[in-house]
Chain A
Amino acid sequence: MKLYQTIASSTLATVVAVTFAAQVQAQENVLRWSSQSALANIDPHGTTTALPLSIFSNVYEPLVGLNSDMELVPVLAESWEVVNPTTWRFKLREGVTFHNGNTFNADDVIFSMERVGNRYSFLRDRVSMIEEMVRVDDYTIEFITREPYPILPQMWTSIYMMDKEWAEENDATVPSNSVENIESYAGQHSNGTGPFRITERVPETRTVFEPFADYWDEVEHNLDRVVYIPITQDGTRVAALLSGEIDMMYPVPIQDIERLQSNAGTDVLIQPELRTIMLGMDQNRDVALHTNTGDNPFKDRRVRQAVYQAINIDAIQDRIMNGLSEPAATLISPLLFPPAGEMERHPFDPEASRALLAEAGYPDGFQTALVCPNNRYVNDERTCQAVTSMLARVGIEVELRTMNVTQYWGVVGRPVQDFAMYMMGWTPGGLDSYSVLFNLMGSWDEESGRGRINNGDFANDRIDEIIALVESETDTEIRDALIMEAYQIVHDEVYYLPLHQQTVVWGVRDGIAVTQRADDYFQFRTARFTD
């Protein structure tokens, strides 16, 4: 009897304690959120992966950033100007301190840029245009580039500033990298200028952020703490939101969107994403691989257009993407290049498609093959299956091959290029058209790397000319017109078959307000508890 009493009373005490603890916690605004992968390493210069870079944006800050409309805004730089085509002068913000109390100034910028440019840094490409850095005074710095580089600020929106003194004291001047067996101090500790600082970290389990009291800017949040919890499995992540164990999470799998919407305590936020999904075709080999025609039908513009017009993009949007995609007419999202929004797709028209095939000499169609990743883009495999059946209707019999993304690159990428048709998605680096033109549309040039992702290997002299012009054109209007011309050529010649932009879907618990961004950057400073 005594034992039972002891158990009963201690159970009661535990329950009371737990309830009490829960109440104490409820008074604090602790935002718990989740996404797919653990923060393995928190070195801001140690990764190129989107998720960690987006989380770091709460702790570290760039000179120039993007606001929620994807427009350039000053962050640690107050202003910048082009002194001459190869000289950029940045005026730095004064009165900014790092989390350890050190003052931010030009030395930190030079140090950070050098660290990013370190030969083991994966982000090195983003700063390789710098020839020289000149420290004018404590808060002014000039970057001299090798050649005119009009999109320099765009390239730096995820280049975060570190504290020189802190890095030197802790021997963290080289970014974390696996090659040199270097485990940088900065990979496990942080010291940025951002509105939040990392106070606790158990990589696979949680990372805790607390507001930085001396942050230089106004913030709208009312959070006391933010806890990031990685949950890899989609189903588990959805369950955690439904059961109230977390307050916010992304990405939400398409099939669970309705579930979260219909559930009383949760909702979803939906916004178009920046990546464009497209199909490419081999336009180089004389005899296309996996194709039964004995020649390469995709060298004929009429065949390419026939394939284009056989694809019912509205049906894909409707049935495969549950309405959550934005059909695309060209290779860049209108969010990044507004004139792209004015372009129109070649209309879906199987009749015209058959006629074009007949005209090109394939009245009965032909057999070919399509390579797709099956874990890279939203419903990638299903989209390809739909395309396969649509092409069958105009007589093109497609053998579909789907694979894991890590294998996929080995098959589709240079120099293997083992495909007749392939699927690909592209988010331009620096969020600028130049990356699309240079990588996807230029003809392959090994030395400069132009056309590196032009896996179908088409070549158009005018596009190559435009690339050279756009590279150094600093007048925005002329530049936009040139870019538009290139997109128009791709459209007219049907070098690619653009499909759609996916959507970014976030799941949020009622009582939390967050600002969703097209680049999937979750900025804690915009989050509020509303109840």
Chain B
Amino acid sequence: MIRYVSGRLTQSLLVMFIVAAVAFALFGFVGDPIRQMITEDASQAEIDRLREIMGLNDSVPVQFWRYISGAVQGDFGVSYHHKRPVGTLIAERLPATFELAGLSVLLSVVIGIPLGVYTGLHRHGRLARGLMAASLVGVSIPTFLLGILLIYLFSVILGWLPSFGRGETVAVLGGFWTTGFLTTSGLRSLILPSITLALFQTTMVMRLVRAEMLDVMRADYIKFARARGLGTRTVHFRHALKNTLMPVVTVIGLQLGSVIAFAIITESVFQWPGMGRLFLQSIQQVDIPVMSAYLIMIAFFFVVINLITDLAYYSIDPRLRAGALKGNAHA
């Protein structure tokens, strides 16, 4: 088990290194950071001087080496635009993104799984068919459009919910984490963005659970369970649902990663002060230290989430536990 985890972590370092290298190579095409720092009427001498002191005249491998050796020591440099350490900038925005992403995934699980079970069990029912049709809209409507529509309906026309921002936040855990869950305005502000971000996941979880349920319900052991005279409820939830959860957990895990990584659009529409917006801005401003750090961090999240997902298998699927005991970790 420990060997398994440490092996995966070593792999993850390699993945992050490659991501950083690819990202760095791409930055040559984003544009010139100097142009974003100075006014149009700055002199050529000024531009040259800045290039020199920022080390932009060095070759890309040299710049990359400098960046990586800093990053290994936990120093991701100072943002060109914000003129503050990148680590601090990201740490400040982490809570906003995590709360939004966490709530969205929670919503998609809490709503998606029951709906999936329902539509799976009553697949010819009218309601189930209606839900399936509605879910098509869910998977196909672009996040951006959904966000704007919700803002228009609930903020502009009805005036019920705020159209932007995080509302009042409270610092907890010694000021390290800011949360919007403890104030009315913070909770109100969470509603529209989390729905926007959750809709796609919810419909996906629902469709996935439904498909798995349909599959499992045809299996022999369900018939045997019925034959044994077990109650419908026990059959459905103890035997059927539990066996559908394997792929669902995998997908939810991966989705959590992508929800964090791709909350960018939702954050941008709702002016949500999270990491996604920071990243989007940094692209516009050619803020290379921020872009690199963000990409490395997202790579790290994916690796860790995959690891956790794999570990979750262990607890759900007894066959894997048996394999691990025999030292056959990679089975």
Give me the interface of A with B, judged by CB distance under 8 Å. 14, 18, 37-38, 40-41, 43, 46, 48, 120, 122, 124-125, 176-179, 181-184, 187, 202-205, 229-233, 235-237, 239-240, 242-245, 404-407, 409-410, 413-414, 426-429, 435, 439, 446, 449, 452-453
Contacts and interface: CB of A to CB of B under 8 A. Distances in A.
A237 B163 CA distance: 9
A183 B78 contact: yes
Interface of B: 29-32, 35-46, 50, 53-54, 77-85, 92-93, 148, 151-152, 155-156, 159, 162-166, 184, 268-271, 273, 277-278, 280-281, 284-286, 289
Contacts, number: 143
B84 A183 contact: yes
Contact of B156 (A122, A242, A405): A242
Contact of A406 (B35, B92, B271, B289): B35
A236 B163 contact: yes
A42 to B, nearest CB: 10
B53 to A, nearest CB: 5
A187 B40 CA distance: 23
Nearest to A408: B31
A390 B221 CA distance: 74
5 contacts: A40-B83, A178-B77, A181-B78, A204-B278, A236-B151
A427 B40 CA distance: 8
A452 to B, nearest CB: 5
B83 A406 contact: no
Contact of A232 (B82, B166, B281): B281
A176 B44 contact: no
3 closest A-B pairs by beta carbon, nearest first, are A406-B31, A204-B273, A429-B41
Nearest to B161: A243
A243 B46 contact: no
A46 B42 contact: no
A244 B50 CA distance: 43
Contacts of A230: 271
Contacts of B270: 236
A239 B156 contact: yes
B70 to A, nearest CB: 10
A interface majority secondary structure:
loop
Contact of A428 (B29, B41, B46, B164): B41
B164 A245 contact: yes
B83 A449 contact: no
B284 A122 contact: no
B40 A177 contact: no
Contacts of B79: 40, 178
Contacts of A181: 77-78, 85
A179 B31 contact: no
Nearest to A123: B39
B259 to A, nearest CB: 20
A406 B278 CA distance: 17
B268 A232 contact: yes
Given A406-B35, A410-B31, A239 B155 contact: yes
B15 to A, nearest CB: 28
Nearest to B168: A205
A125 B42 CA distance: 7
Contact of B271 (A236, A244, A452): A236
Given A236-B151, A409-B31, A40 B163 contact: no
Contacts of B285: 406
Contact of B163 (A18, A243, A429): A243
A189 to B, nearest CB: 13
A466 B92 CA distance: 53
Contact of B38 (A48, A414, A426): A48
Contacts of B29: 407
Contacts of A404: 31
A245 B162 CA distance: 7
A452 B39 CA distance: 13
B56 to A, nearest CB: 10
A460 B311 CA distance: 74
